[in-house]
Each structure stands twice: as C-alpha cells, then as structure tokens.
C-alpha cells in the first residue's frame, strides 16, 4: 500500500489471495474478478457484511444478491434441492456465466435474497476468484462492483475509480473475459425460465434443456422484487408512520413494533423489535427481514413501524418498509 493510499483510505489493488481472504473473514468488502464483471464481495452467510454491499453501492432497494461458490458440491450447503434440468445446466456450464435460482436453506440470510425463498447461485469462471473461494469457509455474495446505476466494471481500475474510497482491497484478475452479467435461470412448476439474459445465450441453454420461457425484468433482480408495490408483505397487516399515534389508534390490539434507535414506546401489549438501538444502518438492514418474519410469526394482531432518516441505508430500508405495507 502506498503512502497516498494509506492517508486517503483508498483501496489497494493487488493479486494477493491471502490478503483478500483476510479482509473477507473480518467481514470487510473486497472487489473480485469474474469472467462477467467485477463483483463487490462479502461473506454471504453474514448479514452485517452483506449489508455493507448495499451501503457501498448506494443501492436504492433491497435487490437480491448473487452468491458465488467454487464447486457444485458446495451449493448443496445452502440450497435445499436442484431441479434435474438446472443440475444438467450446472454440470454443463459451470464454472461460467450462469446463475441458478434455487430454493434456499436458512443459512442464507434473508437480506441476501431480499426475503425471497430462492437464492441466486453461480460458480464464476475465473482462476483467481476460484482459488479464493476454495480457501474460504463461506460463499461470497457479490453484485457488480459499481455504484447503483453506473456501468459495470470490467477491470480493477474501473472499480478503483468508482468505489476505491469505500473498500480496502481490489483483487486484480485482469480484464473480464465476458464483460456481461450472467444469465439467470430458474424453474417454476417444471418449466425452465430465463429471468435475465446475459453471458450465456438462450440457444446455449435450450441446447441442454430444451425449450425455455423468457421472463425479462427491467432490472438485474432475480424475479425483480423491486418492481412490486407489495413484496414480502407479512400475512399480518403492516402500518408505517408515527409509532405512538398508531399505538393510540390500536389500543385494543396486540401490536408488534419495529423501531430504530432510542424509543419511548410503551411496552404494554406490544412486542418491540429494535432494528438498531445504536442507530447503525447496517445493523438495521441486516435485522429488517428477520424481525418482520419474527413479528409475523408471533401472536401479534398487526405490525407497525416508523420510517428511518432518509440517509445512508435508511433510503433502502424505508423502501422495503413501504413494500411490506404496500404503500
């Protein structure tokens, strides 16, 4: 690391797998090369680490993240089952620009999948990243390593210019061979569906599994949850606003309450979940989905919450709260 990098806290660019491994094991972000684009990686099993991805990218909604691993055998640690046609695709095109949507195990945090019951998984075709993944005890969540809305990076220098002041290390694997995001494929009711076109063509896929259905989204999201007004809406009604006013309106109800920071909310007939007593946005983001689920599965009649300040990850959390309440 140069003196300039040290005093300015900007990323170091290098090929040191052990250094990248150390940062990732400490819950930090590392940019990694793949054959498609450079990814902004964090421990996929650590919700706090994954929340840092959203913060660094200034991602406006909780878009699902793609999980990267190094072998098909590893996939079974965090996916419950692989449909036979998807398994054939994996055996044919992995490592490569193919992402599969698979039923997830509980080990994958809800934050990573945006509350959906499937996890997006792929094995990248890049020797440096495959070596890194093989040395880690966890898979990596890694969307493209760029601020939201910007062109995806295909070199380490691209990452440095866009996110170099937000991350400690960029693993330099040279220019990306494909330079186009992976193709996202899943299965619904026995039908193979392409959700995003990418580095693997429709012809390539149909050559292996036969005719497929194409359901393209207007974003990079698997199943495009960001396009739905109501997404992961709990079964119980959700209201967002001034918590104390809402509690006054529903005095005779058993209420689950989501708060952020210090609170004077009465504990009478309430079940309170504090997203982050210290007002840590990463902690709040990591807790949001699990707390909503806990309240939904509890004995409360309804769930109320309050919007966070419109800053940092608060924008994304508020967007998620709006979708939970369908407002």
Task: Residue 300: count other Cβ atoms within 10 Å of its Cβ.
Answer: 20
Distance in angstroms (rounded) separating the CA atoms of residues 19 and 150: 27
Say which residues have a Cβ less than 8 Å from residue 179's Cβ, sequence separation at least 6: 36, 37, 154
Q: Walk along the chain (327 residues) in steps of 10 and give the mean pLDDT of each run.
A: 50 96 98 95 97 85 86 96 97 96 96 92 97 98 86 89 94 89 91 89 92 73 44 78 91 92 80 93 84 90 94 80 81
CATH topology of domain 238-325: Rossmann fold (3.40.50)
**CA-based nearest residue to 31, from 189, 137, 140:** 140
Distance in angstroms (rounded) separating the CA atoms of residues 11 and 22: 15
Question: C-alpha angle with apex 226: 290 to 159, nearest 5 degrees?
Answer: 90
Note the pLDDT tens digit of each residue in 80-99.
Answer: 999 999 999 999 999 999 99
For the chain, the structural domain boundaries read 3-225, 238-325
The token pair at 109 is 């945090």
Check residue 312 and give its pLDDT.
75
CATH topology of domain 3-225: DHBP synthase (3.90.870)
CB 200 within 8 A of CB 181: no
Note the pLDDT tens digit of each residue in 45-86.
Answer: 999 999 999 999 886 556 789 999 999 999 999 999 999 999
Same fold, 3-225 and 238-325: no
Check residue 309 and give its pLDDT.
92
Check residue 224 and give its pLDDT.
35
Check residue 32 and give its pLDDT.
98
Check residue 186 and give its pLDDT.
95
Check residue 163 and give its pLDDT.
94
- Determine what percent of the chain falls in helix, strand and coil, rounding each to the nearest 5: 35, 20, 50
């Amino acid at each position: 690391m140069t003196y300039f990098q040290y005093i300015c806290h900007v990323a170091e660019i290098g090929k040191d797998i052990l250094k990248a491994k150390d940062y990732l094991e400490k819950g930090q972000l590392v940019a990694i090369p793949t054959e498609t684009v450079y990814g902004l990686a964090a421990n996929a099993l650590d919700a706090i680490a994954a929340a840092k991805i959203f913060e660094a990218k200034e991602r406006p909604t909780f878009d699902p993240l793609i999980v990267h691993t190094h072998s098909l055998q590893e996939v079974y640690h965090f996916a419950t089952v692989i449909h036979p046609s998807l398994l054939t695709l994996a055996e044919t095109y992995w490592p490569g620009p193919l992402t599969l949507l698979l039923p997830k195990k509980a080990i994958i945090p809800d934050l990573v999948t945006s509350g959906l019951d499937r996890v997006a998984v792929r094995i990248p075709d890049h020797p440096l990243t495959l070596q890194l993944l093989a040395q880690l005890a966890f898979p990596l969540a890694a969307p493209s390593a760029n601020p939201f809305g910007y062109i995806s990076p295909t070199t380490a220098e691209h990452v440095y210019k866009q996110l170099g002041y937000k991350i400690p290390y960029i693993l330099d694997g040279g220019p990306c061979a494909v330079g186009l995001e992976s193709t996202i494929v899943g299965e619904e009711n026995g039908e193979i569906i392409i959700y995003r076109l990418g580095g693997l063509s429709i012809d390539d896929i149909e050559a292996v599994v036969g005719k497929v259905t194409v359901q393209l989204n207007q974003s990079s999201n698997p199943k495009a949850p960001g396009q739905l007004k109501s997404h992961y809406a709990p079964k119980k009604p959700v209201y967002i606003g001034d918590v104390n006013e809402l509690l006054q309106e529903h005095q005779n109800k058993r209420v689950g309450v989501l708060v952020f920071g210090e609170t004077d909310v009465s504990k009478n007939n309430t079940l309170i979940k504090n997203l982050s007593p210290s007002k840590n946005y990463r902690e709040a983001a990591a807790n949001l989905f699990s707390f909503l689920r806990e309240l939904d599965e509890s004995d409360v009649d309804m769930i109320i919450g309050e919007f966070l300040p419109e800053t940092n990850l608060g924008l994304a959390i508020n967007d998620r709260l709006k979708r939970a309440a369908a407002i």
